[in-house]
Every structure is written in C-alpha cells, then in structure tokens.
Structure 1
Amino acid sequence: MTITPPALSVFEALESEVRSYCRGWPAVFDRAQGSHMYDEDGHTYLDFFAGAGSLNYGHNNPVLKRALIDYIERDGVTHGLDMSTTAKRAFLESFQNNVLRPRDLPYKVMFPGPTGTNAVEAALKLARKVKGRESIVSFTNAFHGMSLGSLAVTGNAFKRAGAGIPLVHGTPMPFDNYFDGTVPDFLWFERLLEDQGSGLNQPAAVIVETVQGEGGINVARPEWLRALAELCERQDMLLIVDDIQMGCGRTGAFFSFEEAGITPDIVTVSKSISGYGLPMSLTLFKPELDIWEPGEHNGTFRGNNPAFVTAAATLDTYWADGQMEKQTLARGEQVEQALRAICEEQSGTHFRGRGLVWGLEFEDKPRASAVCKRAFELGLLLETSGPRARSSSCCPR
C-alpha cells in the first residue's frame, strides 16, 4: 500500500507543536471499527496501538455503541458531577457483581477526574493523607502520568523535564531485573529504609506497574510483586498498583496483579474501563483508607455518565462468564509464538510481554522507529516505547 501524506495545513497552522502521534502517522483518520482505522483517502490500517490501551474491545464495538446510542436517544444524563444517577448505579452494581465480588476484593470506588493521571493524583493524595507522610517510592522506567504529582513518580527524563519546576517527594528504586539478576531483590530499598542515616524519609506509599508499558514492556515477576507487597506491609507503607494501562483484561485477568495473588491497598484504573474509549477513571482503595471529607477531592467531569453506560455494558457482556481472560491468554500465546519466530530469524532482537501486551526489542535502538515507520506505510499502526521513546507506549492487541 502506498500512502501519500495529506495536506495538513490546518493542523500545522493552528495546533500546538506538542502533537506527536500525527507525526508518525501522517494520515487524516475518518472512521474506525473493530481492529481497523480508515483514513479519508480510503486506506485501511490494522490498529495494534488500540488507543494506547484504551480500546481493549475494539473501535466502535457494536454492543457498546448500541447501549450508548440508546442512552443518548432517551436523553439520559450526560454530565452529573458526583450526583447519583441511574447510569452510575448501573455501573457500580455491574462492577461489584462482575469484578469485585468474584475476586473477593473489598474496594471502595472513587471517581476522580476522567483521565489516568487524575486517578494517580488522587491515589498519591490519599496515601499521604492516610499516612501523614510526603514521600512516595516509585520505580525506574515508571510512567504514571503527565500532571505534576504523577510526573514526580515517573522515570522518563524527557517527560520530567517538561514540568519546568523541581519534582519533589518522590524516590525511585530499581524495578524488577533492573540489574539483570545480579543484585538481590529490594536490597538497596530495604537498606535505605533500615538505615537511619540513609536520608530516605519514611515513605507513605510505593507505586508500581506490574508491566511497564511506557517504560519498555518490562514485566515484573509474580514473586517480585509478592515480595514488594510483603515489604510494604512490614514497613508500614501503602502499596499502590497503577493498573491504568494493564488493567481491564489487557494481561489476561481483569486486574494485572491477580497473577501475583496480592491485594494492593490502592489501585488506579482508567484507559479501557469505559470500554468505548470514553474518558473515565477510578481510584479503588480498601475501606479503612476512605478518610476523605466530602468534596475534599473533586472534579467537574468526574461524572461522565455516557462512560458509565458503556462501562456497565462492557462488564455485563464480556466479564460475566470468565471467557474474556481465557480468550486473551490464548491469543497472547499466538503473539508470543509469532514474536519468538521473528527473534529466531532476526539476530539482535528480543521479545517480552504478558497476556496481549508485547514488545519487540532491538539491540540497534533506532531500528524500532524505522520498523514503526515501515509498518505504517504497509497499513499497520505500531508505536515505540522505552526510555528513549518520546511518545506513548505501544501495546499490541
């Protein structure tokens, strides 16, 4: 397929230089359905990007679209702040019945602003409020969002530099296998916690991704996550799992931490929770942590009712019978086999991932961008990730 870059004059003239995805994919997209996107010139693209993880069920999923259209046509509430609505009630009941109860999870549900970084900011704020401490520990190559609090626990130097001010009250520690197995897990972390002369203030919480998408598809072992949970309990620190990109079934189970058999104190969820790509996020936490005063944390768009509608339809349709996890794991095995074959044929390549989250690493680093560029020319949407990447992560679906 030969693709001629369109005239992008209006975008170039009016839109900020901060735009990124459109530079790597120079097309004007017009329609999307299932696993495909279509530009205005009629070219078809297989979408492995999937909205950076917010389209786990495909573009314009017909089941979810029907629920949304029906709701809008009957003049259902669109904007509701934190008022009680029938759409919110339906979502909460579905979330409780299809997600929390089957997993015996006790969480209270908070609706912060509708983006992932809003959920992280709420989690950090609550952890500090509960523990009365400021410091938060994060991990090398972590990504937790673009607002100031989330950036303070993000590793990428390029993104951190955009803050324009010092990012404080966050301390990075080595992620799993950061030293290629040459150093025992948490040796440095525990030593700092126990040494009164280390200069590390007692943290309120630790925030972690079970699979680092933006950081390069770095997969934490279940035993590493269990050891981290035990360390947090011993040292009176809350454990926050940022499941914004890897949750909602992307690694197989609904929550990516289920494989490790842990129950985090706080969990952040966004991306595919609405099922339809509509803005929505959740901050989940154990009931004893619910010490908020009414209105102490809020946001104008925390009541995105159309997102509640599609979210409830997603859970009722795809998570009621347990088949979604099995299907994801089966397809993940297919992806793994395909990537293994590529690596056997191509020297200097390695792969890693879990569920339907996979990355292909090149020893020749610039090759990753070249592969993505060529893939676009052939009608496949891929993205780069890792500390050298300046855009968001690519998680093939």
Structure 2
Amino acid sequence: MTENNLSIFEKHESEVRSYVRGFPTVFHKAKGYKLWDLDNKEYIDFFSGAGALNYGHNDENMKKKMIEYIQEDGVTHSLDMASKAKGEFLEKFHEIILKPRNLDYKVMFPGPTGANTVESALKLARKVTGRTNIVSFTKGFHGMTIGALSVTGNAFKRAGAGMPLNNATSMPYDNFMDDTEESLKYIEKMLDNSGSGVDKPAAFILETVQGEGGLNAARMEWLQSIEKICRDRDILLIIDDIQAGVGRTGTFFSFEPAGIKPDIVCLSKSIGGYGTPLALTLIHPDFDKFAPGEHNGTFRGNNLAFVTATEALNYWKDDSLEKNVQEKSKRMEEFLNGLIKKYPNMKGSHRGRGFMQGIASEVDGFSDKVTEKCFEQGLIMETAGPDDEVFKLFPPITIDDEGLDKGLSIIEKAVEKVVSEKNLVTS
C-alpha cells in the first residue's frame, strides 16, 4: 500500500472500526512519541495506544532484544509450557517490581488482553469465595467480553452485549455523589442490611483512575476506605490496573500511594513493553486456587512479549523514571488548570492524575472538537467519559521536554480555535 487512501478500509473492514474514524489517515512509521503517515506527515502521540505504549513506539533496547530472540529461533508460541523467555520475565518481575514493594503475588498468564485478565479475576474470586455477586463502580470500564461488561458502567458498551448482564452490583465511585462520606456509608449499609437486596459479593473491582469513564481519580482516603470495607467483610479486592498501571500515574502500580494491597491485580496494555500483547493476573497466594487448565488460552505463552516485557523492567531498576513522570505530571496539571482559567467559558474542570489527565467540558461537543483540531495540527489525542466530555492527555511516560511542550502548545491552539468557533467569549 503506497497511497494515503482510506477507501480500502471503508470497502473491506467492518463498520465496527473506531479509531480510524477519529484519526483518518494511514499510519506507517512510529518512533518514540511520534507517528508518520504515508504522506510523511508527522504526528505527536498523546494517545499511546490507549495506554499500551507507555514507553513509546519502537524502543531501541526492546527492539534489539526481540530481533535477537527471533534470529536465534527462540520459541514464539508455547501455551503455558516453561520457556526461557517466560522464566526470565518471572524472575525479573519478582526482583524489580514485587519484592521492593513488599508485594506477594503469584503470576497467572491468561489470554493476552485486558478483558481476559478481568475475566480470570472474576472467575477466581467467585471460585474461592463460593459467591457470585461482584461489586463494581459507576463509570468503571473493564473490557468488552460478557463478564467484563457486567462490571462496566457505560450504557452504550453494555448494550453491545445483546443480553442481560447479571451477577454484578454497581456502587458509587469516589465523588460520583455530592457527599462522598455518605456514599461510603451507603455502600456499607447496602452490604450489611439484609433487606437491601444486595447479595454478599465475592469481590469489589475498581480502577484507581477511571480511564474510559472520564479520568476520574479516586482519593487515596477513599481507596483506603474501600479496602477496609472489603477486609471487614471477607470480600476480595480486585484492582484493574490495566490502563492506570505500569507507570502511567507516576508509580508502577497506581495504588501504591494509597498503601493498599489488593488481593488480585489485573495488568495488560503496557506490561508487554513494546505494544506486544500480554496480560497478567496477580494473585495473593492464599487465593491461587484454579485447577491446572481451569482458565487457559491458546496465546497466553506470548514469548515475544516476555522478551520485551523483561527488557522494559530495566526502566524500574531505580526511581529516575518515576521522578520524571511525577515532575512532568505537575507541569501537565499546571498547564491544564491554566487553560481552565484562561478559557472559562469552555466550562472546564481538571480530571485525572499522573500521565492520564485531561479537561472535562460542560459545553456539548467541545472536547470532540478539540481532539479534531489537534489531529489537524499534528497531535493524536482521544476523548473519554460517558458523553466524550473529556479530552484526554496520554503521552508516553518516556516523552522528553521538547515533545511534551510541543504537544501542549498544539492543545492550547486547538482550544483557542474551538472557543473562537463556538463563539465562547474569553475573559
């Protein structure tokens, strides 16, 4: 394919295609925080594969390791048989990530997608507790398979199931209600009152920062309260760290600042390092109760992903990347709050933390227009939230100062244009 023409996709690809509609060009090359299309137009990437490319595109060290592995005829597909690549990943993940954080987990490899690690977590929680109900939270998103959809809040995505979604109870996420303390009491009362109609759950499942739900960041105190609610009632706590984890919020696991220790952790997206498909379900040893093969998948032994994932862990041998993300996160927050102040009539409010931040606008269609203008000016960025009301900054966590500054500059120009076009007078 040599021409930058979308007709082949329109002719042959299903109507379900999504991102190609928002980013209507044919991409060919990518490096670091940049992408190029077939016309050689350069784009700054503030999308990062929806969080699957935290380390950017085509990291040199990961690429080198993958090429070396292929050239030596390293095994690619091995289901869950033992392989050199898997063994090296398990050892390094324990030594660099789990041990320094005093976390004790067995590592399960489900199918290599986020939805699959969620499905495995829900199945395991039900198996070890003997209960069927799962508590999920308003605006949460956990995947597109039936079990994952049952604990997802978005009405549009739930409707795609085409069938009733059962055995889950939705509770208010932090700041969903005006009085957060009352909402915590509400959760407790619904669990404890035998007349509430809520069956005792096997587990709670939540994201510490809701990505698709609109970059809603839970306070650390709320997370601690939720953990206590679970502990006091013998309910398992599942943290879905698929999008918010692997450094996206400034620490490897997004829940670290809260000091909580989930029973099960779901990881995918950037855990493979290179964009290579991989998912992990981290399980406290007390709950590692699946019989051999009771949850399986043909591609859970993705050795190319083990190779790049192992190399990616070198970023976490010290705290330099963490500190860099945290420092740049402050700059992003200051920039966004500055935009909110400068353009008050976009009726914006700041959302998120770390490298998953954005602005929620009360003006209908505003955020969609901002992302559209950004694309025209060479920046890729998407929206989030039930009504696409949030424009979402998701640059690679390895982005340099120049790339970050360029991206932020394009966003400000886009906001200024949309404010002007919508006749929103600035003050």
What's the TM-score once normalised by structure 1's chain length? 0.96
Residue in 2 that maps onto 1:362: 361
Cα gap change, 1:391 to 1:345, in 2 (>3 Å): closer
Correspondence list, 1:61-72, <5 A:
61-72=59-70
1:385–1:394 CA contact under 8 A, matched in 2:
no
Alpha-carbon distance in structure 1 between the residues aligned to 2:348 and 2:251: 28
Note the C-alpha offset of 1:164. Answer: 0.4
1:147-158 matched pairs, under 5 angstroms: 147-158=145-156
Judge conservation of contact 1:386–1:393 (CA < 8 Å) in 2. Answer: no
Q: Distance in 1 between matches of 2:343 and 2:391?
A: 26
The count of aligned residue pairs is 392
Aligned to 2:302: 304
User: Of the candidates 176, 196, 199, which is equivalent to residue 197 of structure 2?
Assistant: 199
CA distance in 2 between partners of 1:120 and 1:314 (Å)? 23
SS in 2 for 1:200: coil
2:87 maps to which residue? 89
In the other structure, the counterpart of 1:381 is 380
CA contact (8 A) 1:52 1:394 kept: no
Please give the secondary structure, in 2, of the residue aligned with 1:97: helix
Counterpart in the other structure of 1:351: 350
Any conservation in 1 of the 2:355–2:393 contact (CA below 8 Å)? no
1:1-397 maps to which residues of 2 (within 5 A)? 6-181=4-179, 184-315=182-313, 317-347=314-344, 348-389=347-388, 395-397=394-396
Cα contact 1:52–1:392 (8 A) shared by 2: no
> Is 2:273–2:308's contact at 8 Å kept on the other side of the alignment?
yes
Q: Please give the per-residue CA displacement for 1:224-279, whole angstroms capped at 9, x wherever unaligned.
A: 00000000011111000000001101001100000100000000000100110000
Which has the higher mean CA deviation after the structures are superposed, 181-190 or 129-138? 181-190
Query: Does the Cα contact within 8 Å between 2:361 and 2:389 map onto a contact in 1?
Result: no
Higher share in helix: 2
Residues in 2 aligned to 1:128 and 1:287: alpha-carbon distance in whole angstroms: 16
Within 2, Cα distance between the matches of 1:57 and 1:10? 31
The percent identity for this pair of structures is 54
Cα distance between partner residues in 2 of 1:246 and 1:364: 27
Structure 1 residue 389: Cα displacement: 3.3
SS in structure 2 at match of 1:114: coil
Root-mean-square deviation (CA, aligned residues, Å) is: 1.5
The alpha-carbon distance between structure 1 residues 138 and 221, as it changes in their structure 2 partners (threshold 3 A), is same
- Contact 1:141/1:155, CA 8 A, preserved across alignment: yes
Structure 2 gaps of 5+ residues are 397-427
CA contact (8 A) 1:151 1:160 kept: yes
Structure 2 CA distance for aligned equivalents of residues 220 and 396 of structure 1: 21
**Does the 8 A contact of 1:241 with 1:268 survive in 2?**
yes
Q: How far off its partner does 1:391 sit? A: 12
TM-score (norm 2): 0.90
